[in-house]
Amino acid sequence: MAEAAMWKLLRDRRLEGVKFRRQTPVGRYLADFCCPALKLIIELDGGVHVLRVESDAERDAWLKAQGFTVLRFGNEVVLNNPAVVFEAVRQAMARQMR
């Protein structure tokens, strides 16, 4: 449900005209949402991620070593406060465009 809400925001270049892909392979990982042009990845985390802190940190470190910026949001934030998510993504995009 959170992923569908996020995709509604990102698809069809709705956010600043930037193209995002959904469920995109990046190396051996699968990014929830990825903008290859800006090297920006958005990950949505459900409750199971509480149990995967170490593997998520390892994954994020590898992605960052490849030059990606990784943004993580809990599903509940996406669903309950999308304006916060929108602003954080917009700011990250602005930083990547510099």
Beta pairing, strands 69-74 & 40-45: parallel
- pLDDT one-digit tens code per residue, 61-88: 999 999 999 999 999 999 999 999 999 9
Q: Residue 50: pLDDT band by 50, 70, 90 thresholds?
A: low
Give the separation between CA 30 and CA 26, rounded to whole angstroms.
6
* pLDDT band at residue 9 under the 50/70/90 scheme: confident
Q: Which residues pair with 70 in a beta bridge?
A: 41
Strands (E), the chain: 21-26, 29-35, 40-45, 69-74
| DSSP character at residue 47 | G
Query: Across residues 7-25, what is the average pLDDT?
Result: 90
20 pLDDT more than 90? yes
Which pair of structure tokens corresponds to residue 56? 């998520």
Q: Which 8-state DSSP code applies to residue 38?
A: T
